[in-house]
Amino acid sequence: MLELSPIIAGCMKWGQWGVKYSTAQYLQLIEDCIVNKITTFDHADIYGDYTVEEEFGNALKQKPHLRQQMQLITKCGIRRSTPNRFENKIHSYDTSRKHIITSAERSLQNLGTDYIDVFLIHRPDPLMNPHEIVEAFSDLKKEGKALHFGVSNFTPSQMDMMMAAFKVEFNQLEVSVLHLDPFHDGTLDKCIQHNIKPMSWGPLGSGKLYGDNGDERNKRILSIANVLAEKYSASIEQILLAFLFKHPSGIIPVIGSTKIERLTSAYDATKIHIEREEWFMLWRASKGHEIP
């Protein structure tokens, strides 16, 4: 299986949906990540309303040799209605063979690369035909345009359907101390069973833990995280990542920050090994009750 860095740099907010970095700023953050052993970058065709891939690719053109030092992930299957995609009348899903191949080829062009390391179906499509997806993936692999394949946000039953047709290597899903469902709904069990590598988007709760909203659940979690942060001389965010690293499925967090300091701090969290009871302290704080 392809080896990804233990922290993935999520690029969604690098452009129009976030800080709107210049080409020079893209390149600087890419280089800073690589120097700090964060070599995997997460994209989707729709990020920045179909602009981030191209902006990232423009930065890579400045120093093409960096491509050999990184792994690129991108996703397809969501069609957004935007001015630069006039053919998309409404927001919808499309996992047809034609759309998958067209999306991959466009991503290759935008990123300025000959191959995508990991190509994912972004969301489950109610109309998806796994055999048609396999045809597209097989064609892309045969031509060397995409090397590894997976899905994102798929349920265990949807995973079963896909696994009957081809080998799913990755599942990118929402999982954090605030979103515990994958721990007990069979999603991570499925990953272990079939040697599927899970990636976590929103690994720190997508910012929902912070803010003066008086949420009792958040207060409980932060209270325990503070105690553990003091014990391990770590930040709260590092403790929340250590919570994910504890799981035997090998969760890889996608960190959507645009700041190298936060990305390197997340990388350093891989060195923190909380105890089993401490893991359950965070679990109890999130659930609000003792385990059965």
Query: Catalytic: which of 47, 50, 232, 267?
Result: 47
Q: Is the pTM of this model over 0.75?
A: yes
CA–CA distance, 6 with 3 (Å, rounded to integer)? 9
3-state SS, residue 78: strand
Q: Mind listing the pLDDT tens digit for each residue in 172-197?
A: 999 999 999 999 999 999 999 999 99
Please state the φ and ψ torsions of residue 15, each to the nearest 5 degrees. -115, -130
Whether 214 has a pLDDT exceeding 80, the answer reads no
Per-residue pLDDT averaged across 11-26, rounded? Answer: 98
Contact 54, 60 (CB under 8 A): no
221-238 average pLDDT score: 97
Structural domain spans, the chain: 8-210+247-271
If you average pLDDT over every residue of the chain, what do you get? 96
Distance between first and last Cα of the chain: 37
Does residue 208 have a pLDDT over 90? no
Comparing 97-101, 148-152, 195-199, 202-206, which segment has the lowest mean pLDDT? 202-206
CA distance 167 to 160: 10
Mean per-residue pLDDT for 275-292? 97
Alpha helix locations (H) across the chain?
Answer: 23-35, 47-50, 52-62, 97-111, 130-142, 156-163, 181-184, 187-193, 216-232, 236-245, 260-268, 276-287
Checking 186-191 for CB contacts under 8 A at 24+ apart, the result is 186/156, 187/155, 187/156, 187/159, 188/247, 188/249, 188/251, 189/156, 190/156, 190/159, 190/160, 191/249
CB 151 within 8 A of CB 162: yes
pLDDT tens, residue by residue, 83-134: 999 999 999 999 999 999 999 999 999 999 999 999 999 999 999 999 999 9
- 8-210+247-271: which CATH architecture? Alpha-Beta Barrel (3.20)
User: How far apart (Å, rounded) are the C-alpha atoms in residues 114 and 127?
Assistant: 30
Catalytic residue status for 47: yes
Residue 212: the pLDDT is: 63
The C-alpha atoms of residue 33 and residue 20 are separated, in whole angstroms, by 18
Q: Counting Cβ atoms within 10 Å, is residue 176 exposed (0-12), middle (13-18) or buried (19+)?
A: buried
Judge whether residue 206 has pLDDT over 90: no
Contact between residue 125 and residue 99 where contact means Cβ atoms under 8 Å apart: no
Please classify residue 212 by burial: count the beta carbons closer than 10 Å to its beta carbon, then call 0-12 exposed, 13-18 middle and 19+ buried: exposed
Q: What is the mean pLDDT of residues 54-61?
A: 98
203 with 180: CB under 8 angstroms? no
Q: Which amino acid is at 242?
A: A
pLDDT tens figures, 259-272: 999 999 999 999 99
- Cα dihedral 106, 110, 116, 118, rounded to 10, equals -90
Establish how many alpha carbons lie within 13 A of residue 206's alpha carbon, considering only the half-sphere containing its beta carbon.
10
What's the pLDDT score for residue 234?
98
Q: Does residue 76 surpass a pLDDT of 70?
A: yes
Average pLDDT, integer, range 18-37: 98
Angle in degrees, 0-180, between the axes of helices 260-268 and 236-245, rounded to the nearest 10: 50
In eight-state DSSP terms, residue 230 is H
Q: What is the pLDDT of residue 210?
A: 77
